[in-house]
Every structure is written in C-alpha cells, then in structure tokens.
Amino acid sequence: MSDLFRNYIHGEWVEAKSGQTFERRNPATGELVGVYTKSGPEDVDAAAAAAKAAFKAWRLYPAPKRGEILFRAAQLLAERKEQLAREMTEEMGKVINEARGDVQEAIDMTFYMAGEGRRQFGQTTPSELREKFNMSVRKPFGVCGIVTPWNFPLAIPSWKMMPALITGNTVVFKPASFTSRMGVRLVEILDEAGVPRGVVNLVLGGGEVVGNAIIEHPDVPIISFTGSTATGNDVAVRAARLSKRLSLEMGGKNAVIVMDDADLQLAADGILWSAFGTSGQRCTAASRVVVHRAVQRELADILVQRAGGMRLGNGLDATTDIGPIVSAGQLESVHAYVAVGQQEGARLAVGGNVARDGALARGFFHEPTIFDDVRPQMRIAQEEIFGPVTALIPVDSLEEAIDVVNGVQYGLSASIFTSNINRAFRAIQDIFTGILYVNAGTIGAEIHLPFGGTKATGNGHREAGTAALDFFTEWQSIYVDYSGKLQRAQIDEVAVEPGG
C-alpha cells in the first residue's frame, strides 16, 4: 500500500479524526498514485483553531521577513521543479511540459509575492485642516479559507496562498481531491521554508464535506474559491448569508476571433494550443472560434488536418500531445457534448470519440474534437465543456464577431487574430472580458497582471498581480491630528490669508 498522505495542522502531519482514507489513480494508466486521509468537519475545526491562534503573531511578523520565507519557498519550488512536474502529470494527467509550466507559475508567483513584503503601499494625502496628517494602510483579515481545483494544482494555490500569507493572513487550505498530493507537496515546501506553526494548515478530503465546512466555519472570515459556476454560485449565497468576504473564479466560454486578414497558420497555432492544451481542461480554454466566412474553409482544413494528427497518451511520454481527461465522470460529461452538437446540427469535422485502443483503454482519453458551421446559440457554443472540444462559428464582420464573443454568460478570456491595428483596438474597446489577447490564443496569463473575468466568470475580484493584495487586505484610513485642539472636518474651515 502507498504511503498515507496526511493533513497538516498546527505544524504537525496528522491523520483525519475519522481514520478513513481515499485513493487517487493515474488517469492515464489507472495505477495507484496515493492514499490520502479523508477529513471531516472536526478536522476543519482543528485547522481553523490553529490558524486563528497563529494569526495573532503572524499579523505582527514584519512583512519583509514574511517575504524572506516566501523567497526560500520559491527557491525550493525551483529546485524541485522536475520532481513536482512529474508527480503532477501522474496525478492529474497533463503533459509533462505543461506540468513544468504549472510549477513555474507557482515559482514565479511565490517570488513575486515575496517581493510584496516590501511593497504593500498605502497612500498619504494632504488634510483639509492644518496640523493634521492623513494616510491609509493595509490590514490582514485573519483566517483565509482556500479551496482550489485540480487542473492547475500548484499554480492556482500559489495565486491564493502567497498573497494571503505575505499580507499577514493565515490559511486553511483544501486542494482538490484529484490532486491532493500536490497540495501536500506545496505545504511541505512552505513548512521547510520556515512558515511558523499554525500559519498554513492543510485539510484533505471532498468538497461537499471539507470545502463546505471551511466555507461555513465561523472563524474563517474570507474565502477564495476556484471551481465550477454552479458550485461557485452556491458558495456565494452561503458566504453572503454569513457576511464573508469572497473571491470566486468560475467558468469560461472563451473565444478566438479570426479575421479575414489574419495569419491563418499563426491563428491555427493559437487555436490548437488554446483548445487542446491540458486536454481543454482550462477555464481559459478556447471552446469557440469565431471565424470570418472568407477564411472559414481554409482555417477549418488546417485545423482538421493538424488536430487529426495529435497524439494521445501518457503525459510523461515526451511524444504525447494530449493527455487524459481527469476522471471517468469528466470524460463522460465531455463526450456527451459531442452528441449534443450533432443533435443541434453542427458538422463534426474531426474527432468526437472516446479513445479505447491499446494502452489508451486503461485511461480516460478523448480525441481532439472540432465542430464546424456552429450557430452562436447552440449549447456547444454557450456552455462550458471543459474538454478538448471547440466550435467554429462563421461571421461576416468584426462587429458580428464581437457580438458573438460577448453573447455568452461568461467573460474570462478572448483573443483576436488580425493584421489590422484598428480592428485590434476595436476588439480591445468592445470585448467585455477580463483578459484579451491580440494575435495569440486565449491561454497564457502572466502572474504580474490581474487574472479573472466578468459576468458569470467571477464576482469582481482578481487574482495575481497587486490586485490580489486588494482582496486579502482591508484598508484602514488614519487621521493624526497634532493641533492640540478638536478640529471638525467639513465644519471647521481654515482661513488662509493670501501670502500668509
């Protein structure tokens, strides 16, 4: 039996109080990856108590010194990049180069937020009264509940945990059940880097039990959640009822516009990477291609030829282009949309099958799939599929393309391929998404700019960059009156003589 991966509470690795466990198997091979302790609400109680107690000292720990701990953590992540990438591929399936990119994003975010230990700037402003000083400062909230998905099992936790820690908050962290080992590895590194006892706490288990217990816990005033829109909306209702601060990062239905003046080979590169990278299991995946009719047939031919030649397989094999879907249930969900698209009258141009030949039969593989002649209101053009399926939607103008891009409930990422700078700036002006690319695909965000979306993609907060600090801190405005008398703003006017 594999070693048991445990919770981390108050600086100790401990089993869940229930004594129960759960397994995770490699989605490409079916081989056992790990056995994990299965937690319940009582484990969340212990983690929240540890985090609450640790907050009293951690919030007073100098922020530059907190940064030094994160610098050490970033260095450890960098030193172990290859090991972490291989373990990630075994656990959730993405091809090894993409796993390395996932780890690198965590490295970059940790270094970046370490630097914020010396840059948590506030403001100083002139007062309207004499002998009075005005300023604002950031203050941490307390215990942060962090609930993360399986598709970016190091990058996304780093987006949340590092800004939370550098600003003086403590953490109760629940990674996705499919990628619990990556959660353990990240916490091991933070522990080794010198994070004090109780500042970071890890609780393994399912979302319905552990995730809900974190969200409902009275000692966890702030929640950062990434997951499905349906789950996120439920979290929003419960968090509002409990007056909690909440950041939601949810679904996407991202689109690539290809205009008639675009470099079609470059556009095809961007589409294939955006649609089929991580087997389409990205919130920024391009599941729509809004293409000008003048180049629709040519672009479709290029995409069909290239997608048809992509190789499915174990992500640890360097020749693999597309790894497995994360689970049997997710594979079933993705494949169901193929039937939906055909029933709606879209033309299946390539793919559409679950791969069951040879070694692929041991895992959860789906062919890269492209639909052509899709209408904007079809379900495959409106609903998030979260798999290697994309839809070509023909249009006659840039204005129509922009309307199609904006005509979904989500607003995370979009892109446009064009050689006309005026068209590019029209897209920048009129497309209502949190992220927009010009002459690139819909994926590949960098950690020093805000990440997040509009409409049903989120609730207005952003991750990454300095925007993340705004979520994990509360502003305090401070007024220092050194006049020696009571001065009343907006009531007591200061007379100022010319030249006096």
**How many contiguous H segments (helices) and E segments (strands) does the chain have?**
14, 24
Domain membership flag for residue 419:
yes
Quick one: CA dihedral 14, 20, 26, 32, positive or negative? positive
- Catalytic one among 90, 283, 367, 463? 283
DSSP string, 203-241: --S-IIIIIHHHHH-TT--EEEEES-HHHHHHHHHHHHH
Same domain for 360 and 322 = yes
Main-chain dihedrals φ then ψ at residue 15, nearest 5 degrees? -80, 155
Q: Name the DSSP class of 495.
A: P
Contact indicator for 363, 320 with CB cutoff of 8 Å: no
Contact indicator for 316, 27 with CB cutoff of 8 Å: no
What pairing do the DSSP bridges indicate for beta strands 143-147 and 222-226? Answer: parallel
- Strands (DSSP E) contained in 399-495 are 410-411, 413-417, 435-438, 454-455, 473-481
Domain membership flag for residue 236:
yes
Same domain for 420 and 381 = yes
Residues 6+ apart with CB under 8 A from 146: 157, 160, 161, 164, 171, 172, 173, 174, 223, 224
Same domain for 46 and 194 = yes
Same domain for 239 and 214 = yes
- What's the domain count of the chain? 2
Same domain for 268 and 177 = no
CA distance 242 to 436: 35
pLDDT at 496: 59
Domain membership flag for residue 242:
yes
pLDDT at 500: 47
Whether 283 is catalytic? yes
- Catalytic one among 91, 249, 384, 463? 249
In CATH, what number is assigned to the domain containing residue 262? Answer: 3.40.309.10
Residues 6+ apart with CB under 8 A from 72: 192, 193, 194
Same domain for 373 and 297 = yes
In CATH, what number is assigned to the domain containing residue 64? Answer: 3.40.605.10
Same domain for 352 and 217 = no
Domain membership flag for residue 297:
yes
Q: What is the pLDDT along the chain (500 residues), one digit of tens a residue?
A: 358 999 999 999 999 999 999 999 999 999 999 999 999 999 999 999 999 999 999 999 999 999 999 999 999 999 999 999 999 999 999 999 999 999 999 999 999 999 999 999 999 999 999 999 999 999 999 999 999 999 999 999 999 999 999 999 999 999 999 999 999 999 999 999 999 999 999 999 999 999 999 999 999 999 999 999 999 999 999 999 999 999 999 999 999 999 999 999 999 999 999 999 999 999 999 999 999 999 999 999 999 999 999 999 999 999 999 999 999 999 999 999 999 999 999 999 999 999 999 999 999 999 999 999 999 999 999 999 999 999 999 999 999 999 999 999 999 999 999 999 999 999 999 999 999 999 999 999 999 999 999 999 999 999 999 999 999 999 999 999 999 999 998 887 766 566 64
- Boundaries of domain holding 167: 4-250+458-477
Whether 249 is catalytic? yes
Quick check: helix, strand or coil at residue 432? Answer: coil
What pairing do the DSSP bridges indicate for beta strands 410-411 and 454-455? Answer: antiparallel
Token reading at 352: 């559409």
